[in-house]
Structure 1
Amino acid sequence: MTPDYDKQTNPRWPNWLDNPTQRARTVARMYRAHLRAARPDLCDQADETASQFGETWMLEREEPIDPDRELTTAEAAALVNVPPQRIREWACLNRRDDPNRKVLPRFGKRGRETLYLAGQVLEAAALVRRHNTGR
């Protein structure tokens, strides 16, 4: 058996833009959700162990997200668990339903950093996800 982990793209995967790490994290989150439902105590124990090693990407965000919060490219990428390059791609990509609008509009600049609004980042991620699962 040869796992598909190392393939840069996987045509069977719902979001074809996801890289191997993102696919692995999505699968890990699925397993974590099932473990949380079946044995919350074991899930907490596993979360604590991972956190001790500095791995917190799988933990749920408890803080509410202000849709008007200005985010840098790196912060926007972290919010929706994609690489920063994906945020830049969305900012250059025209929407299919309205070619005059970008998938993710740029909000402004802070020094050399491009800024995006958190609400628009979440909307762009949902739009891309809907597009990719609908193909």
Structure 2
Amino acid sequence: MNPDLDVQGRRGEWPIPGDNATDRARKIAHMYRARLRALDPDACDQADQVANNFGETWVTPTTVTVDDTDAITTAEAAALVNVSEDVIRQWACTPHPDKPGQPLLPRFGWRSKARTYLAKNVRDAATTVIQAKHRKGQLTRSS
């Protein structure tokens, strides 16, 4: 819970530019979960178990420790920045908007049959995409 985000200057405007509908829904769900945890930890544990049984593991908080220098697979990269694996692949084929001649997400190597990327580059690509959309005015309340 972040009390600063509970009160907004204008009704209906989401406070975090760049969040899509799924991001917003998950953050709202996490808010409800945090409040339930504070009021009734046993009920929260039961609800967490139901969500996990249906494969919705995003509901429960996890600590992700990925160093900038870690080589991560396409699936791990997608999970790290909350996008699909197809988006990661697209970023690897997209020219960097601010660095001509360079890809948005440089490929790093291979782990078995899986393509890898450096975690720092994945985070940087996600930030660049959000900033580019913001500069172009493509972020709307319905994003």
TM-score by length of 2: 0.66
Q: Percent identity of the aligned residues? A: 41
Per the TM alignment, residue 26 of structure 1 is displaced from its structure 2 partner at its CA by: 1.7
Which has the greater radius of gyration?
Answer: 2
1:91 counterpart residue number:
92
TM-score by length of 1: 0.70
Matched, 1:30 2:31: no
Per the TM alignment, residue 119 of structure 1 is displaced from its structure 2 partner at its CA by: 1.6
Q: Which runs of 5+ in 2 are unaligned?
A: 1-16, 138-143
Measure, in 2, the Cα distance between the counterparts of 1:43 and 1:130. Answer: 36
1:50 counterpart residue number:
51
Stretch of structure 1 that moved more, 61-70 or 90-99: 61-70
Measure, in 2, the Cα distance between the counterparts of 1:59 and 1:124. Answer: 26
SS in 1 for 2:59: coil
Q: Which runs of 5+ in 1 are unaligned?
A: 1-13
The two structures, once aligned, show a CA RMSD in angstroms of 2.5
Change (3 A) 1:26 1:89: same
Change (3 A) 1:59 1:124: farther
Aligned residues: 116
Q: Which has the higher contact order (CA 8 A, sep 6+)?
A: 2
